[in-house]
Structure 1
Amino acid sequence: MIELVRWIHILGATVLLGTGAGIAFFMVMAHRTKDPVLIAHTAGIVVIADWVFTASAVVLQPITGLWLASLLGWPLSEPWILLSIGLYVFTGLFWVPVIWIQKRLRDLARQAAQERVALPAQYYRLFRLWFVSGFPAFFAVIGILWLMVSRPTFG
């Protein structure tokens, strides 16, 4: 049972990191074109991917993490576990607004595409906010993965 739960937990962590990096890459590449049609299409797929993959992994990670800790007899008071949980919450504080921003970017691009006009200034402001929000969340996930693999002792 331990190996199965560990495998599911690692798979979820991989999905979080991979989907996040993939979404960022495709959004940036679409944004660089300044083409509302392409951006609307890409952002539409990104919104779906975030709900299907990221949201599933976000729900699965704490469940499998707590289950794995219980199976292995690791107290949740271990500093590396507490730090991992803190970074997970920190990541969520960035991810939740990003979901809304991605939907808004999609909608602004769709509207510009339908009206055959350039992207509005609001799109560019929101894109900058989306872009900047990705860095702390990405590095927090990297930190969580490091903690998960190395399980350092502090003190």
Structure 2
Amino acid sequence: MSFEDLLRLLHVLGAAVLFGTGAGIAFFMVMAQRSRDPHIIAHVAGIVVIADTVFTATAVLLQPLTGYGLARAIGWPLTEGWIVLSLALYVFAGLFWLPVVWIQIRLRDLAKQALAEKTPLPPAFDKLYRIWFIFGFPAFAAVIAIFWLMLTKPDITLF
């Protein structure tokens, strides 16, 4: 396996981890929230926070490194339109992902508090959950667009 092949493999695996972990986290958080059970929500949100830390954060850090290495190995200039647009979409997705991580931690803590106090979930939980849910759509759309750009490498003139 060449160095280029290794970089390509790592880059594709990182993209799969980003998308797959995001989709899995979204599914399990939605299902937990639908239960309205603070015990289930606290448990699932706790696992989600760990998964985001272990998998998503690691992939988020490695994707630009493997992408840069791959571009250099293949000889693509970083000013290629599809690469610039991919990077812009990556930052865009990150701007939605960072608050979502904080919201997941807060949702977990609010569910733990409701569980400890034997009370229903507070209104703040529902408000934060709605924001969390809405923020997922532009982030996922950006990641799908990045996949498309990586696969098709369209001739885009930006400058």
Q: Distance in 2 between matches of 1:90 and 1:120?
A: 31
Cα distance, 1:38 vs. partner?
0.1
Cα RMSD over matched residues?
Answer: 0.6
List, as ranges, runs of 4+ consecutive aligned residues in structure 1 with deviation greater than 4 Å.
none
User: Which letter does structure 2 place at the counterpart of 1:142?
Assistant: I
Provide the secondary structure at the position in 2 that maps to 1:152: coil
Give the TM-score taking structure 1 as reference length. Answer: 0.99
Cα distance, 1:116 vs. partner?
1.0
Instruction: Determine which of 52, 55, 58 is the counterpart of 2:57.
Output: 55
Provide the secondary structure at the position in 1 that maps to 2:79: coil
Instruction: Determine which of 67, 70, 80 is the counterpart of 1:68.
Output: 70
* Alignment correspondent of 2:112: 110
Q: Distance in 2 between matches of 1:22 and 1:74?
A: 33
Q: How many residues align?
A: 155
Provide the secondary structure at the position in 2 that maps to 1:80: helix
Q: Distance in 1 between matches of 2:8 and 2:58?
A: 17
Q: Distance in 2 between matches of 1:56 and 1:148?
A: 20
Provide the secondary structure at the position in 1 that maps to 2:119: coil
Superposition map of 1:88-127 within 5 A: 88-127=90-129
Structure 1, unaligned runs of 5 or more:
none
Give the TM-score taking structure 2 as reference length. Answer: 0.96
User: Which letter does structure 2 place at the counterpart of 1:109?
Assistant: A
Superposition map of 1:8-87 within 5 A: 8-87=10-89
CA contact (8 A) 2:80 2:156 kept: no
Cα distance, 1:33 vs. partner?
0.4
